[in-house]
Amino acid sequence: MAQVRVLTGDRVTLRQPRLDDADELFAAVASDPEVTRYVTWMPHPDVAETRRVITELFNKGKERTWLIELRDTGEVIGTCGFRVVQPHLREFGYVLGRRWWGQRLIAEVVDLLIAEMESDPKVRRIAAVCHVENTRSARVLERAGLTLEGRLVRHTVFPNIGTEPQDVLQFGKAVE
């Protein structure tokens, strides 16, 4: 498993996921169908699946994943990360447990993640997509300084919605 470095904000810490995070991550985030509605994975049926994802998927190959911890309490509140699509291009994503929505915590997470991606001199473009109806996420991306570049039709299958590919909004940001 690749190691990611610790990124510290005012209210959150982003750090390497560990196997012993599985119980909290499962209970607060990965098992909740409201959280997974607009992501490309199904809610985890049990904590064994969360353990498998931590050990077999996180920080493998071209994926980098951080666990999001609330600094005040040390609680596990979500995950975020990026994928190296091409040497100059990163695509990122994030999930927060529902009880932490609406506090602008994700803005801090995204700022830390963008700064980390931009610290690599090879990176010239940072991008993200969200389901057309995921208005919360679209606001997060706009506020973080990404530009809405268009609507990509029939782009992604969201398994919690159905088998038909769905339209997404494409956001991007040039890194000079």
Ligand X SMILES: CC(C)(COP(=O)(O)OP(=O)(O)OC[C@H]1O[C@@H](n2cnc3c(N)ncnc32)[C@H](O)[C@@H]1OP(=O)(O)O)[C@@H](O)C(=O)NCCC(=O)NCCS
Using CB under 6 A, list all residues that contact ligand X: 35, 38-39, 93-96, 101-107, 130, 134-137, 139-140, 143
Q: How far is the CB of 126 from ligand X (least distance, A)?
A: 14
Q: How far is the CB of 121 from ligand X (least distance, A)?
A: 27
Q: How far is the CB of 176 from ligand X (least distance, A)?
A: 25
- CA distances from residue 46 to 123, 159, 161 in whole angstroms, order as listed: 37, 18, 21
Q: What is the gyration radius of the CA atoms in the chain, in angstroms?
A: 15
Q: How far is the CB of 139 from ligand X (least distance, A)?
A: 4
Cα–Cα distance, 116 to 12 (Å, whole number): 15
Nearest residue (CB) to ligand X, 22 versus 94: 94
Cα–Cα distance, 128 to 99 (Å, whole number): 24
Cα–Cα distance, 65 to 59 (Å, whole number): 6
Nearest residue (CB) to ligand X, 8 versus 103: 103
Nearest residue (CB) to ligand X, 27 versus 107: 107
Nearest residue (CB) to ligand X, 1 versus 32: 32
- Name 74's Cβ contacts closer than 8 Å, sequence gap at least 6: none
